[in-house]
Amino acid sequence: MLEINRLLARLPGRPLVSPPGIDAVAARAGRYRTQRQVRLASAALALVTVLGVVQLAGAEDREVDRLRTAGTPAGPDGSDVTLPPGLDELVNGSSTTTTTADVGGGSTTTSTTAQPGGGGGNGKPAPCPSGQNAGATDVGVTGDRITIVSRGPGLGVKAAAQRVNRQGGICGRRIDVQTNDSPSFPPAGDYFAMVPGVADTAASHEGLTTPVVGGEGWSHQEYGSGWSWPVGTSAAAQVRIMVTHAHESGAKTFGMVHDSGRPWGTQAADAFRAKVKALTGADPKAVVGLQPGKAGYTGEAQSFNEQCGCDFVAFAMLPDTALNYLASQSEGKGFGTMLTGTMTPLFNDRFARDCGPKCDRLHVWTPYNPPIGRFAGNPDVAAYVEDLRAITPTADATNQVIEREYVGARVLIAALERVGANLTRDRLRAELDALRFSSGLTSTLDWGPSVPADRFANRSAQAFRVRTASGSFAGFEEVGTGLRRDPS
């Protein structure tokens, strides 16, 4: 054996190495296994420790959030306790961000700016630990309900509220919708906010200190308060849109019949005159005002016919006034030879049925997407119809006043969710001013704090056509204008 090793040692590049015995190999393998087990155990222990720290930190942060949403807590001596900032504030600071939130039936994109004591700074609804809230934080707010008021039946408001209530409310508070049939806006009472109803198209919101969310926005007076957030398009803007469309369609002569007893009627007439003059260089052939509440308008109808056999005629009236006026008109008179247009309050089945064949092909304009034709399949529009049917199966879902109520209630709900557990009118106002509301129901809406310059959230409208068959109303059909923006 010794001789063999000497021979191997002489071979180039081949060191003389004695192979280890089997016992040595087994011992080395055992040491490797032991070291590997120790390393794995150490790693597992470190992971458990990290998870425990994270869980503890999360529990502490949740407790801070609970105290923050309940209001500023007091220490043992009654003094205010300064809470540490939440995780979002540490990461983002006070900032404006955008998020998409499902508020029933479809996705609604909202943009919110962090406000002291308001909603979460990341644009998401403020936290409500286990559905808790801060109790009776303002007028019309208790630990289990938020009271809002609406004029008339308030079907659109009730439909939106019921969806939220079925899901448990907002921070454990259900929305209680009360209706008020007062001829004027109800005075500030035991309610938190108001969503205007069917009869509020003429209302002025000036001087209010109660949040009025979701008004029609017909008159400029509805934009004169920092406590009003209309969702509709003003009467003046709708008139300008209609006149522009008619002029593009070939109309050269123009006439108008309007409500002269309400601010939005005279504002619509002024906008009509100015727009016709700007487009044609001439004044309208006729602009006739009607005092609402009269049983008939024979004299006014005759005056209009003598002045105007016009290509385009615009109506700016509520349904009862319009029906009485048209009943006073001579057969075949009072309409445009090419086009006739009217605005949101006349967009409903009842008016179209009562008007009958004379209103065939009348254009009714609206800032909303009604459940007609291709719009019926939109998730937000379908949710509106479902929610309305849950209130009353026979309700007219094409009624654009009801749909406006629903849009307004949805806007209010989105803001309430972002205020969170510590609900006050000031916090709601801050969230509404920062809100950007997008849905399939209408164009994107946003308001600003300035009064009234940038509070016209909705500036668009689109036309649908009344169809009659065999002397009876047969439904509405889309004209194809799309949502047209106010050219001014």
φ, ψ (nearest 5 deg) of residue 180 = -135, 125
For 36, how many CA atoms within 13 A lie in the half-sphere containing its CB? 6
Which residues are 314's β-sheet partners?
256, 341
Task: Provide the phi-psi class of 209: left if phi over 0, else alpha when psi is between -120 and 50, else beta.
Answer: alpha
CB neighbourhood size of 72 (10 A): 12
Show the domains of the chain with their CATH numbers. Answer: 97-234+380-459 (3.40.50.2300), 235-368+462-485 (3.40.50.2300)
Instruction: Give me the pLDDT at residue 225, please.
Output: 81
Instruction: Give me the pLDDT at residue 129, please.
Output: 77
Identify whether the C-beta of residue 485 lies closer than 8 Å to the C-beta of residue 234.
no
Distance from C-alpha of 181 to C-alpha of 159, rounded to nearest angstrom: 19
CB neighbourhood size of 134 (10 A): 17
Identify whether the C-beta of residue 403 lies closer than 8 Å to the C-beta of residue 372.
no
- Cβ neighbors of 193 (< 8 A, separation 6 or more) are 140, 146, 148, 149, 210, 211, 212, 213, 412, 425, 428
From residue 103, how far is each of 125, 355, 464 by CA, in Å? 11, 37, 28
Instruction: Give me the pLDDT at residue 209, please.
Output: 79
Can you list the alpha helix ranges (DSSP code H) found in 420-486?
Answer: 425-434
DSSP string, 392-419: -TT--TT-HHHHHHHHHHHHHHHHHHHH
**Comparing C-alpha atoms, which of 300, 363, 284 is closest to residue 334?**
300
Q: Are strands 460-469 and 472-478 parallel, antiparallel or unpaired?
A: antiparallel
- Radius of gyration over alpha carbons of the chain, in Å? 34
Q: Are strands 145-151 and 174-180 parallel, antiparallel or unpaired?
A: parallel
- Amino acid at position 84, single letter: P
Instruction: Give me the pLDDT at residue 36, please.
Output: 55
Distance from C-alpha of 134 to C-alpha of 427, rounded to nearest angstrom: 14
Instruction: Give me the pLDDT at residue 232, please.
Output: 95
**Comparing C-alpha atoms, which of 218, 235, 230, 201 is closest to residue 451?**
230
CB neighbourhood size of 182 (10 A): 10
Grouping H, G, I as helix, E, B as strand and the rest as coil, residue 356 is helix
Identify whether the C-beta of residue 286 lies closer than 8 Å to the C-beta of residue 310.
yes
Distance from C-alpha of 37 to C-alpha of 34, rounded to nearest angstrom: 5
- Cβ neighbors of 471 (< 8 A, separation 6 or more) are 356, 357
**Comparing C-alpha atoms, which of 441, 261, 191 is closest to residue 208?**
191
Instruction: Give me the pLDDT at residue 35, please.
Output: 60
Distance from C-alpha of 398 to C-alpha of 430, rounded to nearest angstrom: 33
Point out the residues of the chain with pLDDT beneath 50: 1-2, 4-19, 22, 25-26, 38, 45-122, 202
**Comparing C-alpha atoms, which of 193, 264, 190 is closest to residue 227?**
193
Instruction: Give me the pLDDT at residue 93, please.
Output: 31
Instruction: Give me the pLDDT at residue 198, please.
Output: 62
Secondary structure percentages of the chain, helix, strand, coil, to 5: 40, 20, 40
CA dihedral 28, 32, 38, 43 (to 10 degrees): 170
From residue 99, how far is each of 90, 93, 125, 198, 436 by CA, in Å? 19, 16, 10, 32, 10
- Cβ neighbors of 366 (< 8 A, separation 6 or more) are 343, 344, 347, 400, 461, 462, 464
From residue 324, how far is each of 81, 278, 294 by CA, in Å? 66, 32, 8
- Amino acid at position 433, single letter: D
